[in-house]
Amino acid sequence: MTFDKPVPGGPCWAELGTSDLEGAKRFYTDLFGWRPETDPREEAGGYTMARLGDAAVAALSPLYQESQPVAWNVSFAVPDADAAARKVEEAGGTIVLGPMDVFDAGRFVVAVDPTGAAFQLWQARAFPGAGLFNAPGSLGWVELATRETDRARDFYTTVFGWSVNASQWYTQWGLGGEDFGGMADMGDRFPPQVPPHWMPYFAVEDVDATAQVAVGAGGQVVVEPATVPDGPRIAVLRDPQGATFGVHRAGDEG
């Protein structure tokens, strides 16, 4: 993505729900050099901000419900969470949680699109979202995997006003002429039990070296490092608790 700060309708945050918070802290610190800071307030429930320098880049949190999967979640910035939630429902999506206030940080919604992929809405107050994009260790791209691409395209363009740049193989989402993410048709490349989902990609200096570090830290390589034709070098990894995420070479955004 070519944004250097959160913009309305664009991805603003990536958040991991994990079954082993301490293990996740160790893994992602080894992988990206993150500095985890856990909110000490009891009501924060162990929510942990990951930083690079002074910039917040992502979050790690325990699972708050038994039904919650171990997974990365992507949040999109909205000026009004309540209005955006209504728009989600009008377009055929479902609101799972919220709108709700998160201390003085902002207003939050968890939603599911009509194809079954969960995502989040964030109305910023004291906390705008990620303070760094595209640099090694920070968010650089977001991708929707779904089995109903036409339905997803209609939904997200209606809710967020995204532009669509589609080829035979891949769809890219954009805002104001700048692409920030994409959509992949799951087809038969995923087992039937894998639901539609959003996945963050983090920028790294060296995709191949990052994949090796992930394995050494107890993770797995799901998609081996490869260079996309006319695109970036990428890999898809899985952390020791089972959450899947992508990495791409920094400087290959958009």
Percent of the chain with pLDDT over 90: 81
Average pLDDT, the chain: 94
Is the peptide bond between 195 and the residue preceding it cis, with omega within 30 degrees of 0? no
In a domain, 118, yes or no: yes
Cβ atoms of residues 136 and 203 within 8 Å? yes
| Same domain, yes or no: 243 and 144 | yes
Q: Are residues 157 and 234 in the same domain?
A: yes
Q: Residue range 154-168: average pLDDT?
A: 93
Question: What pLDDT, on the 0 to 100 scale, is given for residue 112?
Answer: 97
Q: Which CATH number do you get for residue 112? A: 3.10.180.10
Tell me, yes or no, whether 145 and 200 share the same domain: yes
Domain boundary pick from 92, 124, 156: 124
pLDDT of residue 158: 97
Lowest-pLDDT range, 71-75, 127-131, 156-160, 164-168? 164-168
pLDDT tens-digit series, residues 172-203: 999 988 899 999 999 888 888 899 999 999 99
156 and 186 in one domain?
yes
Nearby residues of 175 by Cβ (< 8 Å), 6 or more positions away: 7, 9, 10, 160, 161, 162, 163
Picking from 106, 105, 84, the residue whose alpha carbon sits closest to that of residue 95 is 84
Long-range contacts of 97-103 (CB under 8 A, 24+ apart): 99/123
| 117 and 189 co-located in one domain | no
pTM attached to this predicted model = 0.95
Based on the fold, state whether residues 211 and 164 are members of the same structural domain.
yes
Q: How far apart are CA 247 and CA 5, in angstroms?
A: 19
pLDDT at 2: 73
Q: Within this chain, do residues 52 and 103 fall inside the same structural domain, yes or no?
A: yes
Q: Does residue 131 sit within a domain? A: no
The predicted structure's pLDDT at residue 253: 61
Enumerate the β-bridge partners of residue 72.
16
134 in any annotated domain: no
DSSP-assigned beta bridge partners for residue 144: 183, 198
In a shared domain, residues 153 and 241: yes
Residue finishing a domain among 80, 98, 124: 124
Residue 18 and residue 99 in one domain: yes
Domain range for 90: 11-124
**How far, in Å, are 43, 61, 65, 126 from residue 37 at the CA level?**
15, 11, 22, 17
The structural domain count of the chain equals 2
